[in-house]
Amino acid sequence: MYALEEVKSSQLAKKLGGPPVFHDGALKKIYVSKNKAVLTIEIRSDNNPRLNKDTLVNLTLYDVKEFAFASKKLDDNIYTIHDLDIRREADGLQLRLESIDGEIDYILFDHIELSDEFDIN
């Protein structure tokens, strides 16, 4: 799943002592431009014991080549994350998101950055 050096060497992974756990987190915002996508995700402190409280993180994906998101009814969150997977593919990296409702979205890109610029509460 997170066997990528890019994720392990990110600011957030270093702070947490390893890659964050996104399960049961909430996808809050998605910004996609021609070359970059930023996903703002709330990760839960009960799944990430080194955090004192639920924390917003930015998952920034650079050199976006393609993406597919299903149409969703929006409330406070875009959806609750069941699974987030990042894999190396022949033509770059692929982020695969699965909601608790079984919807699957993906983004194909070249490199990634994880940061925790925001705290909730």
Tokens of 3: 């066997």
Q: Which amino acid, one-letter code, is at 4?
A: L
What residues contact residue 54 under an 8 Å CB cut-off, 6+ apart?
Answer: 42, 43, 44, 45, 120, 121
Rounded to two decimals, the pTM is 0.84
Q: Which amino acid, one-letter code, is at 102?
A: G
Tokens of 10: 């990110």
80 falls in which pLDDT band (50, 70, 90)? confident
pLDDT digits (tens, 9 = 90+) for 38-70: 999 999 999 988 888 999 999 999 999 999 987
Q: Where are the domains of the chain?
A: 5-119
What number of other Cβ atoms are within 10 A of residue 61's Cβ? Answer: 25
Query: CB of 58 within 8 A of CB of 39?
Result: yes
